[in-house]
Amino acid sequence: MAPVGTSMRRWTHALAEEATRPARVDEVNLWRDLLAVDDPRLGVRDLDPDVDVADTLERVKIEIPVEVTDAVLRTLPERYRGGVNDGLIAALAMAVTKWRRDRGFDSTATLVRLEGHGREEELIPGADLSRTVGWFTSLYPVRAELAGIDLDDAFQGGAAAGAVIKAVKEQLVAIPDRGMGYGLLSQLHPETAAQLAELPTGQISFNYLGRVGSTEVPAELADIGWGLTAELGAVSSELTSTIPAHSVLDINAIVGAEGSLGAAFAYPRNVIDRADVQEVADLWGAALRALAVHSAAPDAGGLTPSDLPLVRVAQRDIDSWESQYLHVTDVWPLAPLQSGLLFHAMFTDAAVDVYTMQATLHLGGYLDSERLRSAAQALMERYTNLRTAFTTDSAGNAVQIVLSKVDVPWREVDLSGVPADDRAAEARRVLLHDQEDGFDMSRPPLVRFTLVRTAHDAWQLGVTAHHILLDGWSMPLLMRDLLVLYAVSGDLSVLPRVREYRNFLVWLAERDRQRSLDAWERALGGLDGPTLLASTGRRAGDTTGIGKVIAQLSEADTARLADTAARLGVTVNTMVQAAWAILLGRMTGRTDVVFGATVSGRPGDLVGVESMVGLFINTVPVRVAVDPDASTAAVLQRLQAEQADLLEHHYIGLTDIQRAAGVGTLFDNLLVFESYPVDRAALGEAGSALDGLRVTDVDVNDGSHYPLTVLASVEETLEFVLKHDRGSFDTAEVQQFADRLVRILDALVGASDGRVGDIELVDAAELDALGAAGSGSVSVLSVSALLPARLAEVVEADPTAPALVNGDTELSYAELDQRSSRLARELIDLGAEPGAVVAIVLPRSLDSVVATWAVIKTGAAVQLVDPTQAAEPAADVTGAALVVTTGEFDGRTDGIAVLRLDDPDTARSIAARQAGPLGYAQRRGALAGHHAAIVVGDRAVTQSELAGMLARAEQTYGLDVESRTFLYRGDERFQT
């Protein structure tokens, strides 16, 4: 024989150790709460152990018909996802509550002691009791509470009977470890035993012994004539006469060989009358019959909170959802990005939900539309998460309601009657309208199919879905399965087993969220503000819709980029992120930038995650220090390491990240590096057995709510698609972003050991164009054409229009004019005049622009020095008569006269100056072109040349007063 796994001795010692475990000791509060209830006496007095012994016990027996037994023990558990004890205890609670109510008691709670087998191996890790002989039986109290339930309706088998089942089921399942903790705490721990000894445990005990029959006789015994005796099915037993009775009512129930439930109600005859016991037994039988009647009702059944372990919801919420939706089978929480998308869908004012995505399969050859529709329906049956509705519970928490069945939305459009030249455009219009139509998030499914026929052998299948269901990785998987199901006429058995999206939600629930939040707090610590590209106001004119700019590296350049990444030990994604960060730094004047990045969100330790369909992606912040003095290789490798450290924390939602870091909005632009380009070859392979149907092309169209989204993908070449809100950016701006992003990548490849600050954003052609704008004859400008006068014209036309934007701070044209005029008067008194040079040693900021305008108004030449990028600011201001700076940088100006903007006395002096326009008579020559306006190194540009450059730029780039440009300083030629 096989050896005993865990001996009885070892088991008892292990239980004693378990009784002292802190978490187990804390469980005493559960039992105290459960037993703190009024339990009216059933008999004429309490039990007396010296008097009420086994010899005084009598029994009332009843038998329940087979059909009622089957309904209670089989049908009810199936419909309510419960156990056999649910119906038996529910009926007992109904019986006792009614019995007490008929006698004037208003108690709705029934205390019952349940007997269990006690072999709960999971209580002790590694225990094996399968071959251990001993008495393991456990006894523990339960409370069946029927408050608020219509007892009369329940006894009629009405809806209240279902409420009884649900209530008792939840009360039983709330008891941990099948009640083992009660025995441990009441018997093996002195302190908790003393607490529990003061509380009642109930006057009724109940034990369901199970089902017996001929099938339970071992074959080797049945073969030699052994069988079950009639006594085995009996529910009474003889006890030694001196053993004290432990219950006023001791109920034992068993299903006999014929399939009927029998029960014996044992009671001490000197405590309770037989007639009372008979009445309780009869009421129990009546309650069982009522539950059996209810189980046959069409609306019987339903979920309870314990069926939904991933969410915490009330029964009233579940009942509400089940009345609203048919076939509710589960309720899930939302993944982090799902929460954000639901919020956007429910509260956005936009007419079109940008997160409605669409994949279009271009099909050629012979197509059976009904067969394709059946394949689409099979797809809905295959993937549970395609059958979800999104809503909130009564507490406002977002949930997704999973349905067991939905009908696929299907529409067919035949364009064969449309003129051939117009069909392609009409097909695009039909599918675009379908995408723009959006979804009601509470009405599943959030996916639909539109089949457009464009010729006798050409079709377009638009699969429109809300992004909350799918990510870019999932869509090709879905399309592949659709084509396979078409080939096999919807036979799901040919496809591999689905790895459910629910597994990912379980994985999320098991994470150590606080540890991850701490990691994000460290990663974003010390951040002094957001990185914002878009202006706060909308552009004038036709600014609706989404614009798109495409940029692409050649195959050779893509290969060089990949080789450089490999040599530096980083990914191509890191190269792209670093390039985008450098561009953001130059465009915003920040050396500490943050942008949004879309991460795959598919954890490597989740089995089968690569084949799962659902929304796994997440948007997380990427913080990059773009120190101009750092080598590009160092920036790349540091970025790679920092992102690797955060990889396991990518599941945290952006809102939670921002809250943990104590910051608000971090960015307004998103970088998406697509590691899941549509595998057209795989789709073609899936379509190779389609009986004459072939896939000729695939399009995917989706969006985001960010003003600017950069999509990067690598197949043969690295391609960028920059999608922008036309109300925030014009196409010319975004084209510049794209061109300069490619230029930075080229610089990273060409000089990975160079300085970040040495990367040039402007190419030779742009420099030549700007240089040409200032060349040629120099004419003296009229006063009305002077730069200060042009500023005054704008101020007069629209004084409140935004002139400068830096993060959340905005300066109007009037404020710019007034502040620069006050500062100009201060500078004039300090010697600023035509022919002089005033160095502005300030980082890119509102103050640096105000100071530039102030110097221009004095007639002096401006020398711009960015102290955050210049290696030696003092050397850069040689020859300047005056330096405008702050206390942070004035120590590096080698004794030149300094005006410190942050000095309190200086600030008061400037504030006292007049804010009106300056007179230009004495400085007209300088302003007109006789003296330098801007000095860069050993080169100078006059006001006339500068005006010409600006005019050329306005013409070349379509700039006007509504346009927005970025303050940029870096390469000397670009400054000029």
600 lies in the same domain as 747: yes
pLDDT in tens, 419-453: 999 999 999 999 999 999 989 999 999 999 999 99
Q: Which of the residue ranges 160-169, 218-227, 841-850 has the most confident prediction, judged by mean pLDDT?
A: 160-169
Provide CB contacts within 8 A for 711, sequence distance 6+: 672, 674, 720, 721, 722, 723
342 lies in the same domain as 234: no
818 lies in the same domain as 853: yes
Predicted confidence at residue 953, as pLDDT, reads: 61
Other residues' Cβ atoms within 10 Å of the Cβ of residue 429: 12
**Looking at the domain assignment, is residue 62 inside a domain?**
no
Predicted confidence at residue 589, as pLDDT, reads: 78
Say whether pLDDT at 327 is over 80: yes
Q: 746-785: b or e for each residue (b if 16 or more CB lie within 10 Å)? A: bbbbeebeebbbebbbbeeebeeebeebbeeeeeebeeeb
Burial of 791 (0-12, 13-18, 19+ CB in 10 A): buried
Give the residue-averaged pLDDT of 599-623. Answer: 95
What stretches of 437-534 show up as alpha helix (H) in DSSP? 474-487, 501-509, 513-523
| Range of the structural domain that residue 916 is part of | 773-975
Distance, CA of 340 to CA of 602 (rounded, Å): 18
**If pLDDT is split at 50, 70 and 90, which confidence band does 350 have?**
low
Predicted confidence at residue 948, as pLDDT, reads: 57
CATH number at residue 310: 3.30.559.10
Last residue of a domain, one of 464, 499, 534: 499
Provide CB contacts within 8 A for 512, sequence distance 6+: none
Predicted confidence at residue 781, as pLDDT, reads: 37
Beta strands in 854-959 (DSSP E): 861-865, 882-885, 898-900, 932-936, 939-942
Predicted confidence at residue 379, as pLDDT, reads: 97
**Looking at the domain assignment, is residue 59 inside a domain?**
no
Q: How many residues does the chain have?
A: 976
Predicted confidence at residue 254, as pLDDT, reads: 95
**Looking at the domain assignment, is residue 475 inside a domain?**
yes
Predicted confidence at residue 628, as pLDDT, reads: 87
Give the residue-averaged pLDDT of 245-269. Answer: 95
Give the residue-averaged pLDDT of 405-425. Answer: 95
445: preceding bond cis by omega (within 30 degrees):
yes
806 lies in the same domain as 935: yes
756 lies in the same domain as 783: no
Q: Which of 125-139, 381-395, 602-616, 637-651 has the lowest mean pLDDT?
A: 125-139
**If pLDDT is split at 50, 70 and 90, which confidence band does 876 have?**
low
Phi-psi region of 856 (alpha: psi -120 to 50; beta: other; left: phi over 0): alpha
Helix 572-588 vs helix 731-750: angle between axes, to the nearest 10 degrees?
120
**If pLDDT is split at 50, 70 and 90, which confidence band does 497 have?**
very high
**If pLDDT is split at 50, 70 and 90, which confidence band does 240 have?**
low
Question: CA 256 → CA 63, 235, 265, 537, 970, distances in Å?
Answer: 10, 10, 17, 80, 92
512 lies in the same domain as 490: no
Question: CA 227 → CA 235, 237, 626, distances in Å?
Answer: 18, 20, 85
pLDDT in tens, 503-525: 999 999 999 999 999 999 999 99
CB 481 within 8 A of CB 354: no
Indicate the pTM of the whole model: 0.77
**Looking at the domain assignment, is residue 275 inside a domain?**
no
Last residue of a domain, one of 499, 528, 546: 499
CATH number at residue 110: 3.30.559.30
966 lies in the same domain as 858: yes
Pick the closest to residue 179 from 35, 5, 332, 347 (CA basis): 35
Distance, CA of 541 to CA of 116 (rounded, Å): 77
**Looking at the domain assignment, is residue 295 inside a domain?**
no
User: 3-class DSSP state for residue 816?
Assistant: helix
Predicted confidence at residue 217, as pLDDT, reads: 56
Q: Which of 292-296, 407-411, 627-631 has the lowest mean pLDDT?
A: 627-631
> Residues 499, 501, 502, 507: what is their CA dihedral angle, to the nearest 10 degrees?
90
pLDDT in tens, 669-681: 999 998 755 555 5
**Looking at the domain assignment, is residue 244 inside a domain?**
no
What stretches of 524-569 show up as alpha helix (H) in DSSP? 555-568
718 lies in the same domain as 824: no
Residue type, 812: S
Predicted confidence at residue 302, as pLDDT, reads: 96
Average pLDDT, the chain: 87
User: For the chain, how many structural domains are there in total?
Assistant: 4
**Looking at the domain assignment, is residue 221 inside a domain?**
no
Token pair belonging to 925: 């020559």
pLDDT in tens, 133-175: 988 989 999 999 999 999 999 999 999 999 999 999 999 999 9
**If pLDDT is split at 50, 70 and 90, which confidence band does 312 have?**
very high
Give the residue-averaged pLDDT of 820-832. Answer: 90
**If pLDDT is split at 50, 70 and 90, which confidence band does 641 have?**
very high
494 lies in the same domain as 524: no
CATH number at residue 944: 3.40.50.12780
Predicted confidence at residue 946, as pLDDT, reads: 67
Predicted confidence at residue 962, as pLDDT, reads: 63
Q: Name residue 336's beta-bridge partners.
A: none
Say whether pLDDT at 761 is over 70: yes
845 lies in the same domain as 864: yes
478 lies in the same domain as 624: no
User: 3-class DSSP state for residue 146?
Assistant: coil
Give the residue-averaged pLDDT of 553-576. Answer: 95
CB 206 within 8 A of CB 112: yes
209 lies in the same domain as 315: no
Say whether pLDDT at 231 is over 60: no
**Looking at the domain assignment, is residue 768 inside a domain?**
no
Say whether pLDDT at 44 is over 70: yes
Helix 513-523 vs helix 632-646: angle between axes, to the nearest 10 degrees?
160
**If pLDDT is split at 50, 70 and 90, which confidence band does 925 have?**
very low
**DSSP label at residue 930:** I
Give the residue-averaged pLDDT of 349-369. Answer: 88
Residue with tokens 């050649």: 554
pLDDT in tens, 939-953: 666 665 666 566 656
Predicted confidence at residue 782, as pLDDT, reads: 40
Helix 159-173 vs helix 84-101: angle between axes, to the nearest 10 degrees?
110
Helix 274-295 vs helix 159-173: angle between axes, to the nearest 10 degrees?
110
Predicted confidence at residue 829, as pLDDT, reads: 86
